[in-house]
């Protein structure tokens, strides 16, 4: 169930496998990452995301019909947004901060917890870079696990599937329950800042100023 700014996160079917390669994603409703920022080039790849949950984790699958795909960053916490990249910004608790999960085509991540997104010369007024030990708890299944440089100019379909344990969120927010009584907020993005055809796309529009770190533009995420 999806409206312009509400997405319903569905539970994994009872008895289904939580192994990333075996989840029945076709049974999970998709939302389109289709709001194109005006600074984008003519290339605006069709992008969708599906989100599911169980009591222990959140699961996401991004599907991208892309072109001009590049990947030059192979170390976690590097600037993966410069590559062909998908992103999930998630705010589990209304009066606390949000997490930005940025994952390039090869499954390399940049993840922060942003408590105060006021801009500073160093980034944000209050943010924490997740540790390598925390990143290792996040499971990623990607179609490519290598550098892509030069970029692939031909059309290319690719996906990212990930499992984010509840404990990753709890490290910053305290105990959480994944379920209907705990609505979240968030936004989803597709970008490729340093490709030959840069683009910036989102689920909910972010306005004229190009900045994904806008919790005021987040949509509603409701657990069914």
pLDDT tens per residue across span 155-205: 999 999 999 999 999 999 999 999 998 899 999 999 999 999 999 999 999
Q: What is the mean pLDDT of residues 98-125?
A: 96
Q: What is the pLDDT of residue 14?
A: 65
Confidence (pLDDT) at 137: 97
CA distances from 125 to 39, 142, 168, 169, 170 (A): 26, 33, 21, 20, 21
Confidence of residue 122 (pLDDT cuts 50, 70, 90): confident
Stretch 71-78: mean pLDDT: 98
The candidate with the shortest Cα–Cα distance to 158, out of 33, 63, 88, is 63
> Cβ neighbours of residue 133 under 8 Å, at least 6 residues apart?
none
Q: At residue 97, does pLDDT exceed 60? A: yes
Of all residues in the chain, what percent carry a pLDDT higher than 90?
90
Label residues 82-112 b or e (16+ Cβ within 10 Å = b).
bbbbbbbbbbbbeeebbbbbbbbbbbbbbbb
Residue 1 pLDDT > 60: no
Maximal CA-CA distance, the chain: 49
**Helix, strand, coil in percent for the chain, rounding step 5:** 10, 45, 45
Point out the least confidently predicted range of 101-105, 106-110, 122-126, 172-176: 122-126
Query: What counts of helices (H) and strands (E) characterise the chain?
Result: 2, 16
pLDDT in tens, 15-47: 566 689 899 999 999 999 999 999 999 999 999
| Cis bond before residue 150 (omega within 30° of 0) | yes
H helical segments located in the chain: 132-135, 166-173
- pLDDT at residue 13 tops 80: no
User: pLDDT class for 4, splitting at 50, 70, 90?
Assistant: low
Share of the chain above pLDDT 70, in %: 96
Residue 151 has pLDDT above 90, yes or no: yes
CB 58 within 8 A of CB 185: no
1, 7, 10, 34: which is closest to 90 by C-alpha?
7
Quote the pLDDT of residue 19.
84
Q: Regarding beta strands 123-129 and 109-120, do their DSSP bridges make them parallel or antiparallel, or are they unpaired?
A: antiparallel
pLDDT exceeds 80 at position 130: yes
* Exposed/middle/buried for residue 198 (C-beta within 10 Å: 0-12, 13-18, 19+): middle
pLDDT at res. 2: 42
**Domains observed in the chain:** 28-223 (2.60.40.1190)
**In this structure, are residues 105 and 148 in contact, taking their beta carbons and an 8 Å threshold?**
yes
């Amino acid at each position: 169930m999806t409206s312009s700014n509400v997405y319903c996160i569905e539970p994994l079917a009872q008895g289904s496998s939580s192994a990333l390669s075996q989840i029945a994603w076709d049974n999970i409703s998709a939302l389109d990452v289709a709001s194109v920022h005006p600074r984008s080039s003519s290339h605006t790849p069709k992008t969708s995301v599906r989100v599911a949950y169980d009591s222990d984790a959140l699961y996401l699958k991004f599907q991208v019909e892309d072109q001009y795909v590049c990947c030059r960053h192979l170390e976690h916490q590097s600037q993966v947004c410069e590559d062909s990249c998908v992103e999930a910004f998630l705010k589990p608790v209304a009066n606390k901060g949000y997490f930005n999960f940025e994952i390039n085509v090869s499954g390399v991540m940049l993840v922060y917890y942003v408590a105060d997104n006021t801009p500073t010369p160093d980034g944000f007024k209050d943010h924490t870079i997740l540790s390598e030990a925390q990143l290792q708890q996040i499971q990623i299944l990607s179609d490519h696990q290598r550098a892509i440089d030069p970029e692939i100019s031909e059309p290319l379909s690719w996906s990212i599937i990930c499992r984010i344990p509840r404990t990753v969120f709890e490290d910053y927010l305290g105990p959480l329950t994944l379920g209907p009584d705990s609505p979240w907020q968030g936004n989803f993005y597709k970008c490729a800042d340093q490709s030959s055809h840069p683009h910036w796309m989102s689920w909910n529009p972010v306005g004229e100023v190009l900045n994904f770190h806008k919790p005021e533009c987040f949509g509603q995420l409701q657990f069914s």
